[in-house]
Amino acid sequence: MLSILGFALVLIPLVIVHELGHFTFAKIFKVRADAFSIGFGPVLFAKKIGETDFRVSAIPLGGYVKLLGEDPNSELSPEEKVRALHHQAPWKRFFIFFGGPLFNFLWAIVVFMAMMAIGEPQISTKIGRILNDSTAAKAGLIAGDKITAVDGEAVLKFEDLAMKILDKPGREIVLKVEHDPESKISPNSTELKVKTDSEEGFSIYGEKKQVGTIDGIIPNARMTKVGVSNPDSAAAKAGFQIGDEVIAIGGEKVKTFEQLEAVYRSWMVTNDLRTKSPVTFDVKTNSGDKKITVPFMNAYSGDLGKDFGLYSSELFVEQTIADSPAAKAGIQKNDHLISVNSIPVRSFFELRMNIQKSGEDKGKVSVTLERAGKMETFEIVPQVSTERDPLLKKMKQFTIGVMPVLSMFDPDTIKEQVWNPFKLLYLGTARMFDLTAKNLISIGKMIQGQVSVKSLGGPILIGKLAGDSINRGLIDFLKMMGILSIGLGVLNILPIPVLDGGHIVLLVIEAIRGKALSLKQVEIAQQVGLFFILGIMVIVMKNDISRLPIFN
């Protein structure tokens, strides 16, 4: 239902804007517009205003403006010829044909300006978490770091960071990093050399290729919710329970689990006296705030799990999904997931990744967990679901059906907000030209066979994307509208007869020849263009149908 609503809210304004472009220039040059229709097919509603019949038609996949003299065979009186389309000078007809795409490009600028005036929240380059033993961890990045430049080029948003790395798979890059002031690391700023990871992905133009990433960077930090799974551990004996939140450790306040770990580890470096005596935690529990003092059962190691049996709650089971493989195997609430196929997992990301890999390789998975201080191992056949990648290739997803006590903060964001009208106009126009260029390059690569036609989408894909954007909020919805407006403009300027671009090409030929093509030549060109458009429509609809869940 949301997809249908999204489709209507996005496409109808774009159709109105496009046809309004043709209509406006027709009016400027005094060409008579007999009809202005939103949609094709049977007319559902019509109202005549002046000389134009404004209509709403049954098939909402486009629209049209019917101009006097569009049909060269029509018989016109001398008075009508003055206002007929094909009796206008070529330069006037150019603007009438180009008016539709032009208004789509202008509308995209207006939409992008509105987004920037409202304020566009973007994920910043501040790192919430670094996964253990990952590329990022080995390079020296730590939670709380903010990446400010890649190879000397400034980055403010996580999207910018990803784009800078995308075209550098397996290459050494230099990151400029600012440490979190709360980390008290000196100097505050440093440069780190990182060799990027390489994985299969897509370029900004839609080409399937190896792309660069830095494994282990997570924008979201974990909350300080903890879990205990061994009743004989120091933490459990002191009174810790699953879901308790740590507010401070040894008198030092912490906001994230990453800070909690960092503060506790730092005592090793400073040879802190707190490593010699019981550690006091300020804790938020279901029954209120309290202090819990935990004695060392072994020598201080800098690891909360080893020293106290205290872990992040992310690998503790909140619940198993009914009738899921995990539920049938006997996994229970509060179980602490330890390893997959004897490989230790230290994050929910690793758990999910290892289950996926085991499902792909073996079709089954061995999960070891701790329950009430005892280790138990379960052999599980994962549930398989099928999705499609952007090129419609089926991808199998392997899951076992556990939901963790995983509490993560929203990532750090920056809000880009511009109110200066001249700067808004400049930035909106620049974004429009950038996306237009990328669209045209993608089409060029598609013609060369470098980008698959399977990446094309039609009404079903537009509806899904629009519906998803509504779910994410106004800014995402506006962004989707701006992108689709540019896509509609680019599509219509393609030099294909029956499209606006095809009409413009015929005008250019007319200007070069000094006379218009014959009616027969125009008909042949239009038939070729129509055949081409129908071929594209068949591909698009096939792609759309393939994306429907019933075919997955």
- Between CA 513 and CA 507 the distance in angstroms is 10
Residue pair 200/385 in contact by the 8 Å Cβ criterion: no
Provide the phi-psi class of 490: left if phi over 0, else alpha when psi is between -120 and 50, else beta.
alpha
Q: Are residues 457 and 521 in the same domain?
A: yes
In a domain, 134, yes or no: yes
Please check whether residue 312 is in contact with residue 222, taking contact to mean a CB–CB distance below 8 angstroms: yes
Which among 167, 184, 218 is the end of a domain? Answer: 218
Neighbouring CB atoms inside 10 A of 292's CB total 19
Instruction: Report the CATH number at residue 180.
Output: 2.30.42.10
Residues 307, 320 within the same domain:
no
What's the pLDDT score for residue 391?
53
**φ and ψ at 323, to 5 degrees?**
65, 15
Instruction: Please name which of 194, 198, 195 lies closest in space to residue 145, comparing C-alpha atoms.
Output: 194
Closest by CA to 316, choosing from 228, 395, 197, is: 228
Q: CA-to-CA distance for 109 and 111, rounded, in angstroms?
A: 5
How far is 409 from 400, CA to CA, in rounded Å?
Answer: 25
| Helical packing angle, 500-513 and 90-118, nearest 10° | 140
Q: Does 72 fall in a domain?
A: no
The set of residues, in sequence order, having a beta carbon less than 8 Å from that of 210 and lying 6+ positions away, is: 169, 170, 198, 199, 200, 201
Containing H/E element for 369?
Answer: strand 365-371
Q: Are the C-beta atoms of residues 227 and 312 closer than 8 Å to each other?
A: yes
Whether 260 and 336 map to the same domain: the answer is no
Q: Which domain holds residue 256?
A: 226-314
Phi first, then psi: give them for residue 9, nearest 5 degrees: -70, -30
Q: Which phi and psi (to 5°) does residue 406 adopt?
A: -100, 110
pTM: 0.81
CA distance 285 to 83: 79
pLDDT for 70 = 80
Residues 72, 38 contacting (CB under 8 angstroms) = no
Q: Are 374 and 323 found together in one domain?
A: yes
Question: Quick one: 307 and 323 in the same domain?
Answer: no
DSSP secondary structure code for residue 204 in this structure: T
- Whether 66 maps to a domain, the answer reads no
Known catalytic residue: 370?
no
Distances (CA, A) of 223 to 236, 331, 347: 20, 24, 13
3-class DSSP state of 92? helix
Q: From the candidates 19, 120, 178, 258, which is the catalytic residue?
A: 19
Same domain, 390 and 446: no
Q: Are residues 253 and 210 in the same domain?
A: no
* CB 225, CB 407: distance < 8 Å: yes
- Domains in the chain, number: 4
The DSSP symbol for 408 reads B
Whether 176 maps to a domain, the answer reads yes
Contact 263, 254 (CB under 8 A): yes
Confirm whether 245 is domain-assigned: yes
What CA–CA distance (Å, rounded) separates 465 from 81? 45
CA distances from 102 to 97, 486, 500, 505 (A): 9, 10, 11, 16
| Same domain membership, residue 501 and residue 472 | yes
What is the DSSP code (8-state) at residue 549? G
Domain boundary residue, one of 314, 343, 365:
314
Q: Are residues 340 and 353 in the same domain?
A: yes
Distance of alpha carbon 461 from alpha carbon 262, whole angstroms: 45
Q: 281, 314, 347: which is the final residue of a domain?
A: 314
The reply to whether 470 and 536 lie within a common domain is yes
User: What pLDDT sits at residue 394?
Assistant: 66
- The answer as to whether 43 is a domain residue is no
> How buried is residue 7: exposed, middle or buried, by Cβ count under 10 Å (0-12/13-18/19+)?
buried
Would you give per-residue pLDDT tens digits along the chain (552 residues)? 667 777 778 888 999 999 999 999 999 999 999 999 998 889 999 999 999 999 999 888 788 999 998 877 777 888 888 898 888 888 999 999 999 999 999 999 999 999 999 988 889 999 999 988 899 999 999 999 999 999 999 999 999 999 999 999 999 999 999 988 877 676 778 899 999 999 888 878 777 888 999 999 999 999 999 999 999 999 999 999 999 999 999 999 999 999 999 999 888 876 667 778 899 999 999 889 999 999 998 889 989 999 999 999 999 999 999 999 999 999 999 999 999 999 999 888 889 999 999 998 999 999 999 999 999 999 999 998 877 655 556 678 899 999 988 788 999 999 888 999 999 999 999 999 999 999 898 888 888 888 777 777 767 677 777 777 778 888 888 999 999 999 999 999 999 888 899 889 888 888 888 777 777 877 787 788 788 778 877 877 777 677 666 555
Is 51 within the bounds of a domain? no
Under 8 Å between Cβ of 211 and 198: yes
> Does residue 45 lie in a domain region?
no
What are the angstrom distances between the C-alpha of 3 and each of 29, 110, 485?
A: 39, 24, 18
- State the maximum Cα–Cα separation within the chain, in Å, rounded to a whole number: 104
pLDDT at residue number 135: 94
| CB-count exposure of residue 56 (10 Å: 0-12, 13-18, 19+) | middle
